[in-house]
Amino acid sequence: MPDPTRRTVVCGLLAGLVAPVSLAACSSSTDTPPATPPASTGGGGTAGGGGTPLAKLADVPVGGGTIVNGGPGKVLLVRPTENEVRGFDPVCPHAGVTVSAPSGSTITCPGHGSVFNASNGDVQKGPATTGLTPVAVKINGDSIVTA
């Protein structure tokens, strides 16, 4: 019986201790790298050619809005008219506080009182100096989805 080499003994001991872990130093040069999983399409639940569902249209009142937790994260949805929706990142550009849902034609940040136009996200009153970041959304049947 041949004497085991020092490497064989060490690798055998390590394999016994950390069996689930791949021991690259113990593998031969003919090993192939692990298969790469297929890339995600990121479009789960996208029936009908729409994007990621965010909310039911009926859940966003005309002339108002709501904050939903959708595929891209939190999205502030506003619905200026029956057949028009807009989306914004609800993170205030001033210091990162989440803004409130629209009240009438404005969106207010509870952090330091900035006010934004609910129709287009433009800043109307500081301290924020820029408006809310738009998020592309659209109506798809009875739902609001990412565009």
Nearer to ligand FES, 46 or 117 (CB): 117
Number of other residues whose CB lies within 10 A of the CB of residue 38: 6
Question: Which string of DSSP letters, residue by residue, matches 78-121?
Answer: EEEETTEEEEE--B-TTT-PBPPPPBTTEEE-TTT--EEETTT-
Number of other residues whose CB lies within 10 A of the CB of residue 60: 21
Query: Residue 130 is encoded by which pair of tokens?
Result: 């820029």
Given candidates 68, 76, 94, 137, which one binds ligand FES under the rule CB under 6 A?
Answer: 94
Task: Note whether 111 binds ligand FES by CB under 6 A.
Answer: yes
Query: Residue 67 is encoded by which pair of tokens?
Result: 């904050």
Select from 7-15, 26-34, 47-55, 112-120 the region that touches ligand FES (CB under 6 A).
112-120
Binding residues with ligand FES: total (CB under 6 A): 11
Please count the residues of the chain: 147
Nearer to ligand FES, 75 or 85 (CB): 75
Select from 58-66, 74-82, 104-112, 137-145 the region that touches ligand FES (CB under 6 A).
104-112
Task: Note whether 76 binds ligand FES by CB under 6 A.
Answer: no
What letter represents residue 94's amino acid?
Answer: H
Nearer to ligand FES, 79 or 94 (CB): 94
Task: Note whether 109 binds ligand FES by CB under 6 A.
Answer: yes
Residue ranges of E strands in 3-72: 53-56, 64-70
- Binding residues for ligand FES, rule: CB under 6 A, are 92, 94-95, 97, 109, 111-114, 127-128
